[in-house]
Chain A
Amino acid sequence: MIHPMATVPLLWLSLLVLALPFSPCLPQHLKPPSPPLQASINALTNAYDNSINSTFGITYSDPSGVACSIVDIREQVRNDEISFAGPATGQVVLEHIKPKTSLNILILVKRDDPSLTPLLLSLLDKLTSRSFFSSPTERPPTTGSSPPSSFVPTLFFEPDLFKSLKHDHTLPHLTSPHIAKFAPPHPPPPSNPTLLGFDPNPPSGLFSCLSSTKLDLVLTFGGDGLLMHASTLFPAACPPVLAVAGGSLGFLTPFEKASMYEAVLWATGLQEATDGQTDEGQEVEAPMPVELADLPPAPPTYQFPSPLRLSMRMRLDCRVLSATGHERCRFNVLNELAIDRGASSCLAALDCYCDDSFLTQIAADGILVATPTGSTAYSMAAGGSVVHPAGEELASTRARKKLALHCCCHVY
């Protein structure tokens, strides 16, 4: 059971605002909040300040020691008493606020595993042969004046899979415009909207400038390794990822493959359109391919929880710098960065600095810098602590509500 204080609506913008005080060197793309958001923040800060009747206050400072003005902090002072307004971490919740009129899903499948193909084809068949309408969170579809318009989601595949789907199988709807190839542009065609957000080797100057707003969901059907692959596809902003277990270990893949279709609908807020709402031309049910008919019957319906919850898996921005400070390469890692002695027989001797202060000299086989997600991978094998993947929390309930109300129009 989740404590009510520990539930915060997912807001990309509010999370960015929280990240501001700790980022003295903000990338170019992280601009200050837009004027309406700034106005909201100011109003919020004033309201918060007025409620404090103390002779001193608390603010945060960035590592260089400069005090930052931020929206809200957990440590509060009321009547000269220092207290916490709430926990520092909490469960992040995703809300579909606006009904969608189209939906783009990138489907990533583990390579070279034929056992996954029948289930994948079954999913494709269900998603492309029916039409859907979007129902925003906690707002059931209106049955009154304006019925929601129905649509068929667009499914994107990596080039290899797209090719093999096209050549190896004869899905009735494969030729439909709702299946598309998702490929890195070389060189990038500037006006192709479907390719936004996808560049495995972005130039360092553009590292954070890619947008993934065109994709609503990334479905990974495989193991944890596929999630790492998905992470490399989106070095900048990443759409929500639905990880369906199709690999061996499955530490990061909570969804069962048997309920994959239901999970996709639940995660995207889609509902199957009833007969009256079906688009023309979509009503004719195409014959099932033989292999799909052989599938085992659907399992009992799994009750998906509401609201939809997320783990905001932190990644590390790693840059290799030459002796002169020139950037040689840059990667985002989801699990860990490992520096080791490689083929050498000597101990690795490394100097470790934390915020420009000398921390320690490392004499070991190597060193790992891991995220909480990576705490159960290599780091765990090396004896590191296991860390819960909770996201950060806005401390004040009031601030949370304010930001939620404001940001609704920005998110989804």
Chain B
Amino acid sequence: MPAILLTPICPHVLSFRSMVLPDHVTLRIVLPESARAEATVAFDGKQRRLLQRGESVEIKMSNFPMPTINGLDHSTDWMNALKKSFGYNERIEQKPLGQNYWR
């Protein structure tokens, strides 16, 4: 779905839950002057850069998506990939109860 996800990594406060924001928002993340240390920023895990105090990162939806061709359709491909790559929610199946269990 057209959405931007905001996910904290190991937040210090337990009420900081991940958020799903609409795609039209512009996010700005600022490293304040009062910060104890500098931060680093990585784009797709690459191009790592130092973020100095006072600097910020502005993030918004790009007007250019990457169109990838589906093997079947977007839902089936995605669900198959979840199952194949991550074993999504795989568990040992629960046995049915016996015929006379509730009697």
Contacts and interface: CB of A to CB of B under 8 A. Distances in A.
B is a partner of A: yes
B79 to A, nearest CB: 9
A313 to B, nearest CB: 4
Interface in B17-73: 18, 20-21, 23-32, 34-47, 49-73
10 contacts: A91-B74, A243-B69, A250-B85, A251-B85, A314-B61, A332-B64, A338-B42, A347-B12, A355-B26, A359-B27
A389 B77 CA distance: 10
B8 interface: yes
A342 interface: yes
B89 to A, nearest CB: 10
A222 interface: no
Interface of B: 1-13, 16, 18, 20-21, 23-32, 34-47, 49-75, 77-78, 80-82, 84-86
Contacts of B59: 316-319, 337, 369
Most-contacted residue by chain A among B29, B56, B62, B69 (CB, 10 A): B69
Nearest to B86: A376
B29 A367 contact: yes
A240 B38 contact: no
Lowest 10 CB-CB distances: which A-B pairs, in order? Answer: A323-B54, A254-B71, A384-B7, A342-B40, A22-B24, A344-B37, A364-B11, A317-B62, A331-B43, A366-B9
A88 B82 CA distance: 23
Contacts of B45: 228, 335, 338, 378
A379 B50 contact: no
Contact of B66 (A22, A234, A321): A234
A355 B60 CA distance: 10
Contact of A352 (B1, B29, B75): B29
A322 B60 CA distance: 17
A312 B39 CA distance: 32
Interface residues of A, number: 113
B74 A320 contact: no
Given A314-B62, A354-B25, 9 more contacts: A234-B66, A337-B43, A339-B39, A339-B41, A341-B37, A348-B35, A364-B11, A367-B9, A391-B65
B81 A311 contact: no
Interface of A: 2, 10, 15-16, 19, 22-23, 27, 30, 62-63, 88-89, 91-92, 94, 208, 227-228, 230-232, 234-243, 249-252, 254-255, 267, 305, 308-323, 328-329, 331-356, 359-360, 362-372, 374-376, 378-379, 382-392
A403 to B, nearest CB: 17
Contacts of B69: 94, 240-243, 255, 267, 308-310
Given A89-B2, A356-B28, A384 B62 contact: no
B81 to A, nearest CB: 5
Most-contacted residue by chain A among B12, B59, B65 (CB, 10 A): B65
Given A315-B64, A339-B41, A379-B5, A309 B57 contact: no
Nearest to B33: A323
B5 A337 contact: no
